[in-house]
Chains A and B, each alone.
Chain A
């Protein structure tokens, strides 16, 4: 059970940026580090040589010079196999690999840096750990629980991957909340007591739209639609394509763009996109090597023409969500904009046209999701009882039947938690196992849906074919994550279930990674400490040299020699050792040895500068 003052964090784990918030009785607030706005770029940098891992702005600053070892947009890889992210591969300068599990059953898209393979949950955990530390520094106490948001349209595997990331980072994920609904919660009671609203959420890599009905503090989601592969990243890519097509026309189709140039394109495209939100045009200048400089001015009209098809895709989602909710645009009282990409003027115009009302943007669209997660955290902590979120599952859940067809058990837009019971039996005399293939999606054939994995019921007592009556319960919990349980009714035995997720990690793997990440965090800390100590050694020895030159003749020769010897030894040790404790001890000892010298030096300085 929790301590009364045990804070639960609200975390927005974004494709491009992440934020952490917390709430007390005065409401939710973003955690802002010293002198920062609290926005942590979701970028991980692996430094060459020392193996140090940096997260955030520092990592992003080195993206162009270290394209292969700077990892970003990890969210696009969560809960996916390598084949699923094929279209992203040309856009990601780091090395994507397929990680096969020990049993060979599952494949996970993973990233290889400096010869080590990192799964997306491990990489996301590095971002989460940084946010956790930010919050702990701010609050001045340890934190161990969090609410983390995901796109509403994330499927089971993507949600599980997010929860795994939390665990690897040493956080208990008490709830996965959908981003658009979190945003609505952040607005909370500022919205009308009774209203129907749409939340249009266009982030760095994902798009969601949710239609909600609000009544007396209860936020009931009526429908949700989205695309987990559509966001601001894609706008950048449109700009990059525009530039590169032109360069190819000017310099020949065979021109190559090395990873660092690719990364430069990315940075410039993102900067141009952002400035085009306020300016009519933006200028891009890229060094193509060999003295060739590409210079181009992009107008807002050009940019808008390029991204219009992607914006239209989001509008189609909005219309479908309305149909699912059995509503028309005029039935809505308000439209809320969420996500950095809604700053693009074209997006605002099109949304306004579709819904026939000016979007409501009282809160910062980049902060509203984290704030909402903190509100949900305070509901779960028991400190808020005025609000309640009733969300839905975005995709239908089904099982594969004979001939590869899908039998749907839970339809999309069903309020969660929800459950479905299904009876299974055996086909062969004495059969003790039954395999169930669970899928998620709207298509009729299992092969066209997303496989959640094979569930194997074991320990069915042997009996003639067709006699066993196994009732399987499929429960989608408030996180939108599937839980399966089974009972053989004739013998009343609970059948054990082994789940083999298609693109996920097993609990054992998550445990291992959690331990490894602690280990890594320790190594990281040691490396950091070593760097600090070496700097200190450099500073102290240089200072000592100066003091020896100045007042060295005031101490006896034996003492002087021992200081010089100790100084050399300390420098050698600093260059060789990997043990910060030892270096620290030696540095301390050296400090004591030079106390007398330092006193003389200070006295001398005072004598030289009277008054």
Chain B
């Protein structure tokens, strides 16, 4: 079961030096690692929860935080801080991996908003299954006849469909990033994300 995780909150001040925390992983002032519980990936990276994210800014934050929490820089500290560096670093890496790719970023926004994951809800937009089946047959036929011209056409068609889905995802994921998102938006986002996977798989078959 999924649950609404919009209430996940991170500590806002360092409990040692009382300075505000830019990221809940580490205090930039006293270099003390913070033992965090579950924290939203965006907050972890010191970013606003948003679908539109400049990859430049994201990687800048990631690199700057890595320089502060990576275990390499804690080998002279106590065992506890070393273990914490390992764990916080692992969390930072996971957050970065999840947010770096727009597709997984949308999946994550959906999860945060309490939407269902693909294992729980495999629905796709109307007509997609029929269309996908037809496309698959066309691909197999063109492949068996070594009909490269048709394959190129199919590829173009698939890319256009995927880009269209991508556009839908962007619009819906932007709305999912807000706290007052409606259940319809989340359901639609789930369908579009599932559709995106279909097209990506078909493209891989080519």
Interface, chain A (partner B; CB < 8 A): 1-2, 174, 215-216, 218, 220, 376, 379-382, 385, 388-390, 414-419, 475, 477-478
Specify which chain B residues have a CB less than 8 angstroms from the CB of A218 in the assembled complex: 63, 66-67
Q: Which of A382, A389, A415, A475 contacts B86 (CB 8 A)?
A: A475
A-B contact pairs, 15 of them (CB 8 A): A218-B63, A218-B67, A220-B63, A379-B72, A380-B72, A380-B75, A382-B73, A382-B75, A418-B94, A419-B90, A475-B87, A475-B90, A477-B71, A477-B86, A478-B71
Interface, chain B (partner A; CB < 8 A): 59, 63, 66-67, 70-73, 75-76, 86-87, 89-90, 93-94, 96-97
- Please tell me if the beta carbons of A414 and B93 are within 8 angstroms of each other in the complex: yes
Specify which chain A residues have a CB less than 8 angstroms from the CB of B87 in the assembled complex: 417, 419, 475
> Which among B59, B75, B96 has the highest number of chain A CB atoms within 10 Å?
B75
Roughly how many angstroms separate A52 CA and B59 CA in the complex, as a whole number?
55
Specify which chain A residues have a CB less than 8 angstroms from the CB of B86 in the assembled complex: 417, 475, 477-478
Roughly how many angstroms separate A418 CA and B90 CA in the complex, as a whole number?
4
Roughly how many angstroms separate A381 CA and B72 CA in the complex, as a whole number?
9
Roughly how many angstroms separate A390 CA and B65 CA in the complex, as a whole number?
12
Roughly how many angstroms separate A2 CA and B90 CA in the complex, as a whole number?
26
- Please tell me if the beta carbons of B76 and A382 are within 8 angstroms of each other in the complex: yes
Q: Which of A380, A385, A418 contacts B93 (CB 8 A)?
A: A418
- Please tell me if the beta carbons of A415 and B96 are within 8 angstroms of each other in the complex: yes
Identify the closest chain A residue to B60 (Cβ). A215
List 4 tightest A-B contacts by C-beta distance, closest first.
A415-B93, A419-B90, A417-B90, A380-B75
Interface of B is mostly: helix
- Please tell me if the beta carbons of B97 and A417 are within 8 angstroms of each other in the complex: no
Specify which chain A residues have a CB less than 8 angstroms from the CB of B90 in the assembled complex: 417-419, 475
- Please tell me if the beta carbons of A388 and B76 are within 8 angstroms of each other in the complex: no
Specify which chain A residues have a CB less than 8 angstroms from the CB of B72 in the assembled complex: 376, 379-380, 388-389, 478
- Please tell me if the beta carbons of A216 and B63 are within 8 angstroms of each other in the complex: yes
Specify which chain A residues have a CB less than 8 angstroms from the CB of B93 in the assembled complex: 390, 414-418
Specify which chain B residues have a CB less than 8 angstroms from the CB of A215 in the assembled complex: 59, 63
> Which among A216, A218, A475 has the highest number of chain B CB atoms within 10 Å?
A218
Q: Which of A174, A388, A477 contacts B75 (CB 8 A)?
A: A174
A388-B97 in contact given A2-B76, A417-B90, A475-B86 (Cβ < 8 Å): no
Specify which chain B residues have a CB less than 8 angstroms from the CB of A418 in the assembled complex: 90, 93-94
A417-B89 in contact given A218-B63, A388-B67, A390-B66 (Cβ < 8 Å): yes
- State the Cβ distance, A101 to closest chain B Cβ, in Å: 30
Identify the closest chain A residue to B87 (Cβ). A419
- Please tell me if the beta carbons of B71 and A417 are within 8 angstroms of each other in the complex: yes
Q: A218-B67, A382-B76 are in contact. List 6 more A-B contacts (CB 8 A).
A: A215-B63, A216-B63, A390-B70, A415-B97, A477-B86, A478-B72
Specify which chain B residues have a CB less than 8 angstroms from the CB of A1 in the assembled complex: 76
Specify which chain A residues have a CB less than 8 angstroms from the CB of B71 in the assembled complex: 417, 477-478
- State the Cβ distance, B67 to closest chain A Cβ, in Å: 6
Specify which chain B residues have a CB less than 8 angstroms from the CB of A385 in the assembled complex: 73
Roughly how many angstroms separate A381 CA and B93 CA in the complex, as a whole number?
23
- State the Cβ distance, A171 to closest chain B Cβ, in Å: 16
Identify the closest chain B residue to A476 (Cβ). B90
Roughly how many angstroms separate A419 CA and B86 CA in the complex, as a whole number?
10
Roughly how many angstroms separate A416 CA and B90 CA in the complex, as a whole number?
7
Specify which chain A residues have a CB less than 8 angstroms from the CB of B73 in the assembled complex: 379, 382, 385, 388
Specify which chain A residues have a CB less than 8 angstroms from the CB of B70 in the assembled complex: 388, 390, 478
Roughly how many angstroms separate A419 CA and B85 CA in the complex, as a whole number?
13
Specify which chain B residues have a CB less than 8 angstroms from the CB of A382 in the assembled complex: 73, 75-76
Identify the closest chain B residue to A415 (Cβ). B93
Specify which chain B residues have a CB less than 8 angstroms from the CB of A478 in the assembled complex: 70-72, 86, 89
Specify which chain B residues have a CB less than 8 angstroms from the CB of A414 in the assembled complex: 93, 97
Specify which chain A residues have a CB less than 8 angstroms from the CB of B59 in the assembled complex: 215
- State the Cβ distance, A317 to closest chain B Cβ, in Å: 20
- Please tell me if the beta carbons of A388 and B94 are within 8 angstroms of each other in the complex: no
Identify the closest chain B residue to A213 (Cβ). B59
Identify the closest chain B residue to A411 (Cβ). B97
Identify the closest chain A residue to B94 (Cβ). A418
- State the Cβ distance, B26 to closest chain A Cβ, in Å: 14
Roughly how many angstroms separate A13 CA and B182 CA in the complex, as a whole number?
59
- State the Cβ distance, B25 to closest chain A Cβ, in Å: 13
Roughly how many angstroms separate A2 CA and B75 CA in the complex, as a whole number?
10
- State the Cβ distance, B206 to closest chain A Cβ, in Å: 15
Specify which chain B residues have a CB less than 8 angstroms from the CB of A388 in the assembled complex: 66-67, 70, 72-73
Roughly how many angstroms separate A380 CA and B85 CA in the complex, as a whole number?
13
Roughly how many angstroms separate A478 CA and B70 CA in the complex, as a whole number?
9
Specify which chain A residues have a CB less than 8 angstroms from the CB of B96 in the assembled complex: 415
Identify the closest chain A residue to B92 (Cβ). A415
Specify which chain A residues have a CB less than 8 angstroms from the CB of B67 in the assembled complex: 218, 388
Roughly how many angstroms separate A577 CA and B59 CA in the complex, as a whole number?
70
Identify the closest chain B residue to A477 (Cβ). B86
Identify the closest chain A residue to B63 (Cβ). A218
Roughly how many angstroms separate A218 CA and B86 CA in the complex, as a whole number?
17
- State the Cβ distance, A222 to closest chain B Cβ, in Å: 11
- State the Cβ distance, A388 to closest chain B Cβ, in Å: 6
Specify which chain B residues have a CB less than 8 angstroms from the CB of A416 in the assembled complex: 93
- State the Cβ distance, A99 to closest chain B Cβ, in Å: 33
Roughly how many angstroms separate A380 CA and B73 CA in the complex, as a whole number?
7
- State the Cβ distance, B28 to closest chain A Cβ, in Å: 15
Identify the closest chain B residue to A483 (Cβ). B86
Roughly how many angstroms separate A233 CA and B89 CA in the complex, as a whole number?
38
- State the Cβ distance, A347 to closest chain B Cβ, in Å: 31
Roughly how many angstroms separate A390 CA and B71 CA in the complex, as a whole number?
11
Identify the closest chain B residue to A382 (Cβ). B76
Specify which chain B residues have a CB less than 8 angstroms from the CB of A2 in the assembled complex: 76
Roughly how many angstroms separate A165 CA and B53 CA in the complex, as a whole number?
46
> Which among B72, B86, B94, B96 has the highest number of chain A CB atoms within 10 Å?
B72
- State the Cβ distance, A521 to closest chain B Cβ, in Å: 28
